Amino acid sequence: MARDPGRVLIFDTTLRDGEQSPGASLNLEEKLAIAQQLSRLGVDIIEAGFPFASPGDFNAVQRIAQTVGTAEGPVICGLARAAKGDIKACADAVAPAAHRRIHTFIATSDIHLEHKLRKSRAEVLSIAGEMVAYARSLVDDVEFSCEDAGRSDPEFMYQVIEVAIAAGATTINIPDTVGYTTPSEFGALIDGINRHVPNIDQAVISVHGHNDLGLAVANFLEAVKNGARQLECTINGIGERAGNASLEELVMAMHVRRSYFNPFLGRDVSSSEPLTGIRTEEIYKTSRLVSNLTGMAVQPNKAIVGANAFAHESGIHQDGVLKNRLTYEIIDARTIGLADNRISLGKLSGRSAFRARLEELGYNLEREDLDDAFARFKELADRKREISDRDLEAIVSEQVQQQDQATYSLKLVQVSTGTSLQPTATVTLLNSEGAELTEAAIGTGPVDAVCQALNQLAQVPNELVEFSVKSVTEGIDAMGEVTIRLRADGVLYSGHAADTDIVVASAQAFVNALNRLVAGSQHSPLHPQKAPLPVGEMAPADRPRL
């Protein structure tokens, strides 16, 4: 990849760092759906996961490389610590992609060297050079990161970067791992690298940052002004702790203010050439897809993609917008693919129209999955007069979520409740062998009774830490979308489901979360104690935090 690609490259890490958001774990089919939409969005690089972390992560990266990593598609990247086992696993996982990258890293801050790595600066210099050279022997495209760059001694970091480039790194990433720096500091850090690393002209400078102080996007924009040409970000800004820099905010900031940023990319102020390769009209549907599949709602006042981003409450604002939208809107909502999403799908609609609309929304289902989703659509259409895009998203996100190797599936849920009745639920599950399991329980309310019955059936220790329900659309016949998060051994597992009956939605969401808990935490339904991690598998707490 050229030292200066002539525009700003977008490196999406939704499937790696974004998935590290508590409770945001994705199954293989969900990861594939997101990767395919990221390709349609036009991202340059997809960091598909951390292959050495577990067999599941390895398989997901490999499948994405096979499915999305076409000659016309994005670079498929995997993350690896600066260790031969990690790097070899990463190379094997991304091998099917036409354009593949290994992203390896080691910490450079003294606090990490002393307390985490317990290594000297000389040792880190040696490891960086050796491991980058090893990665370069396996692929032509190698990215090297100085973990915790924001708190590193710049003089030492310059040495590490120089060694990494000499060993074959084609991209140098500067992560603000804990979201510590301010824009002026971060810009100065990038400028210092450009001025003091003698071979920096042989690599693209990338930045990665977290939003702990709410400054990630501002830091990145300052980095672009100082020579960074790759931005590592996530859809909706999801990620560790307060999240990552938000892709949609970065892209639209440079789109709206391109006359301001043009000179920093060596262009004339009036140039209308895009600063990124992103297809902005795909932004909104990508945001919705990630929100639905992760179960992480987008806050209403979120910039660009929040529900209120183009809403006007004030009478003065409303008057101005009616006269000329430019009075109070700097972005045309159609630019991000946001338009009136009321569609004329109903109980008389056919499979072709249903499939076509799903494809427009970013979902490409196999025939069997499409059949199941269409049956669910017809069932809903019998209860609702008009089906909206949000209803379709709820149906399909639940359909995709249930493509896990499920331990349990919900067959029946029935509740009795009222002002003078003790809330009682009867639940029937099918286990993986097809056997029916039935249990009844009482609770403080119908949903609590359902959860109590499900827990008695599953016998997997957990703590319910979040229950939320929201209306998917307006009206008395609206679907209720339920998100449930369970905690087991310090790890969160989320499940979500939608139905016009919120008790049914709650039961299905709880079952989806239970299935992830059983699969992800190595619990056995018969033996709830935690099983040891297989060789080469990393506990969630040990996974890297760039």
How far apart are alpha carbons 124 and 11 in whole angstroms?
26
How far apart are alpha carbons 490 and 474 in whole angstroms?
36
Q: Do 285 and 428 sit in the same domain of this protein?
A: no
pLDDT of residue 476: 67
Which candidate, 302, 404, 364, places its Cα nearest to that of 25?
A: 404
Q: Do 278 and 416 sit in the same domain of this protein?
A: no
- Which strands make up the sheet holding 463-471, listed edge to edge? 463-471, 480-488, 491-499
B/e letters for 206-223, b = 16+ CB within 10 Å, e = fewer, are bbbbbbbeebbbbbbbbb
Q: Do 104 and 238 sit in the same domain of this protein?
A: yes
* Residues in CB range of 351: below 8 A, 6 or more apart: 370, 374
**CATH code: domain of residue 280:** 3.20.20.70
Give a yes or no: residue 35 inside a domain. Answer: yes
Domain boundary among 294, 310, 343: 294
How far apart are alpha carbons 50 and 29 in whole angstroms?
17
- Which strands make up the sheet holding 436-442, listed edge to edge? 408-418, 421-431, 436-442
Q: Do 286 and 425 sit in the same domain of this protein?
A: no
Domain boundary among 228, 262, 294: 294
Domain of residue 163: give its range: 9-294
Q: Do 99 and 228 sit in the same domain of this protein?
A: yes
Q: CB count, 10 Å around CB of 433?
A: 6
Measure CA 187 to chain center: 26
Cβ–Cβ under 8 Å, residues 464 and 443: no
Give a yes or no: residue 360 inside a domain. Answer: no
Burial of 426 (0-12, 13-18, 19+ CB in 10 A): middle
> What SS3 class is residue 465?
strand
Give a yes or no: residue 305 inside a domain. Answer: no
pLDDT of residue 399: 66
pLDDT tens per residue across all 546 residues of the chain: 557 788 999 999 999 999 888 777 788 988 999 999 999 999 999 999 999 999 989 999 999 999 999 999 999 999 999 999 999 999 999 999 999 999 999 999 999 999 999 999 999 999 999 999 999 999 999 999 999 999 999 999 999 999 999 999 999 999 999 999 999 999 999 999 999 999 999 999 999 999 999 999 999 999 999 999 999 999 999 999 999 999 999 999 999 999 999 999 999 999 999 999 999 999 999 999 999 888 888 998 999 999 888 765 555 545 554 565 666 577 888 899 876 544 557 777 888 888 888 877 777 777 888 888 888 888 888 877 677 777 887 777 766 665 555 788 899 999 999 988 899 999 999 988 888 999 999 999 999 999 999 999 988 899 999 898 887 766 666 778 888 989 998 888 888 888 889 999 999 999 988 988 887 754 333 333 333 344 345 555 566 667
pLDDT of residue 83: 97
* Residues in CB range of 110: below 8 A, 6 or more apart: 152, 153
Give a yes or no: residue 133 inside a domain. Answer: yes
pTM given for the model: 0.82
Give a yes or no: residue 285 inside a domain. Answer: yes
Give a yes or no: residue 36 inside a domain. Answer: yes
- Find residue 98's DSSP bridge partners: none
Residue with tokens 């892709």: 247
Number of domains in the chain: 2
Q: Do 218 and 91 sit in the same domain of this protein?
A: yes
φ, ψ dihedrals at 471, nearest 5°: -80, 130
Residue 179, CA distances (Å) to 110, 134, 174, 182 in order: 17, 30, 12, 9
Angle, alpha carbons 75-76-78 (nearest 5°): 135
Q: Do 91 and 220 sit in the same domain of this protein?
A: yes
Give a yes or no: residue 525 inside a domain. Answer: no
pLDDT of residue 4: 76
Give a yes or no: residue 530 inside a domain. Answer: no
> H or E stretch including 285?
helix 283-294
**CATH code: domain of residue 430:** 3.30.160.270
Four-CA torsion 469, 473, 474, 478, nearest 10 degrees: -70
pLDDT of residue 370: 85
